[in-house]
Amino acid sequence: MIGTESLTDLYVEVQHFYARQMHLLDGGAFEEYAATFTEDGEFTHTPQQPPARTRAGIVAELNRFHQRFADDPVVRRHWFNMLKLDPLDDGAIAATYYALVVTTRPGRNVTIAPSCVVHDVLVREHGALLTRSRKVDHDLVP
Amino acid sequence: MIGTESLTDLYVEVQHFYARQMHLLDGGAFEEYAATFTEDGEFTHTPQQPPARTRAGIVAELNRFHQRFADDPVVRRHWFNMLKLDPLDDGAIAATYYALVVTTRPGRNVTIAPSCVVHDVLVREHGALLTRSRKVDHDLVP
Amino acid sequence: MIGTESLTDLYVEVQHFYARQMHLLDGGAFEEYAATFTEDGEFTHTPQQPPARTRAGIVAELNRFHQRFADDPVVRRHWFNMLKLDPLDDGAIAATYYALVVTTRPGRNVTIAPSCVVHDVLVREHGALLTRSRKVDHDLVP
């Protein structure tokens, strides 16, 4: 594992880390969200696009992406589930899980899409989990 | 934490507590659901309304609320996710999480709404977790 | 519990087991999915139907069931939540949880249905969790 903790401890720590991370993102705290990545972290939220790199780059990309909601105000919630953890040779952890985006628009109309599989690499720095890379694959019928 | 358990133990205990609590609510066991609150517990399931207070008050409010389904029979399932736990100064635990209500109507038509953020305060009495207060905020576009 | 582990360890192990199990099913790895059942395992995915029995029988049933998608290509993801664990007299574990099936069709149109309550019996063989039986109840208005 990442250090000497048990798999149980790590699995729960990752669940809690993701909860805090996504409450930040969904609350619009983009700098705090970016700070949950390593300084050289990579974030690919849309397939076929190059990743945003570094915390500053992730913040810039989030600001750019959220411009689409300037004239379409929404509340978004990211739900993660069915989390798998696999150790990597370099001591990092591969985390693979399902994700859904729950979007509420005025009038409380709720849509749930897209359905995604997310591939993270997690590391520990100074005792804290950080995301080194995140790649989001949208479910697409072949 | 609430006592001397590890954060891992507490996080899992809260997950399990919520599973049992919501199976009770969704199964219509309102008295057993109310018994998962403290005797003086508060439950605010709809924003802008005063909370139901005490176990008896929570049962009464649930009976009142569910009258709306008397002529609209449904099966409802409450889903919780993205759970954050934070210790409070008095030894209680603040739990903050996302919630969705999955509603099945005749013909197996499924709707998922509203999307909520729930704020609980949890305490331990005689070894068991109990909800001291629950405040449900529905996602609303500002 | 199933052996001597703590309830915390078991609860997390079951979550992780289900994640791996359903990634296999959703990825079309039916033989690997069936291998997460005991050799004499039973799988009842549709109410009122007799269970598929044995690993070979489960694979055959999955191949039969998925023929419906031959002309309707989809990506399916199974989400589990609100997991309860209860020990049984014979040392096995009863696991009861909510499930949703997230289905993506061409154009990324996402539907989420049915809503289910699943009843599993889990056992440990040679150190690994296995599903001895699974019975899926679809939410139906009485």
Q: How many CA atoms lie within 13 A of C122 on its CB side?
A: 28
Question: How near does any CA of chain C get to the CA of A56, in Å?
Answer: 31
Contact C55, C35 (CB under 8 A): yes
Question: How near does any CA of chain A get to the CA of B91, in Å?
Answer: 20
pLDDT tens for residues B74-115? Answer: 999 999 999 999 999 999 999 999 999 999 999 878 999 999
Q: Residue C114, preceding bond cis, omega within 30 degrees?
A: yes
**pLDDT of C132 strictly over 60:** yes
pLDDT at A107: 84
Contact B54, B39 (CB under 8 A): yes
HEC string of A11-49 equals: HHHHHHHHHHHHHHHHCCCHHHHHCCEEEEEEEECCCCC
Q: Which residues of B touch A (CB under 8 A)?
A: 6-8, 11-12, 81-85, 96-98, 100, 112-115, 117, 138-142
* Edge-to-edge order in the sheet of strand A128-138: A52-53, A37-44, A128-138, A109-125, A93-105, A75-87
pLDDT tens for residues C70-124? Answer: 999 999 999 999 999 999 999 999 999 999 999 999 987 899 999 999 999 999 9
Give this complex's ipTM: 0.96
B140–A104 C-beta distance less than 8 A: yes
pLDDT at B1: 54
**Please, which chains are in contact with B (at least 3 CB pairs closer than 8 A)?**
A, C
Other CB atoms within 10 A of residue C26 CB: 19
pLDDT tens for residues B37-81? Answer: 999 999 999 888 899 999 999 999 999 999 999 999 999 999 999
| Cα–Cα dist A21/A36, whole Å | 7
pLDDT at B136: 97
| Cα–Cα dist C20/C9, whole Å | 17
pLDDT at B116: 97
Token pair recorded at residue B136: 């449900």
A20–B142 C-beta distance less than 8 A: no
| Cα–Cα dist A53/A59, whole Å | 10
pLDDT at B46: 86
String of DSSP letters for A92-115: -EEEEEEEEEEEEETTTEEEEEEE
**β-bridge mates for residue C105, sequence order:** C109
Dihedral Cα A18, A19, A20, A25, nearest 10 deg: 80
C112–B112 C-beta distance less than 8 A: yes
All residues of chain C having their beta carbon less than 8 Å from the beta carbon of residue B15 are: 11, 83
Token pair recorded at residue B117: 């953020």
Question: How near does any CA of chain B get to the CA of C56, in Å?
Answer: 31
String of DSSP letters for C11-30: HHHHHHHHHHHHHHHHTT-H
All residues of chain C having their beta carbon less than 8 Å from the beta carbon of residue A97 are: 19
Residue B129, burial from CB neighbour count under 10 angstroms (0-12, 13-18, 19+): buried
Q: Residue B114, preceding bond cis, omega within 30 degrees?
A: yes
Q: Residue ranges of chain A with pLDDT lower than 70?
A: 1-3
B141–A106 C-beta distance less than 8 A: yes
Token pair recorded at residue B116: 């909520």
Average pLDDT, chain C: 95
| Cα–Cα dist C126/A43, whole Å | 40
pLDDT at C102: 98
Among the listed residues B4, B23, B27, the one whose alpha carbon sits nearest the alpha carbon of residue B15: B23
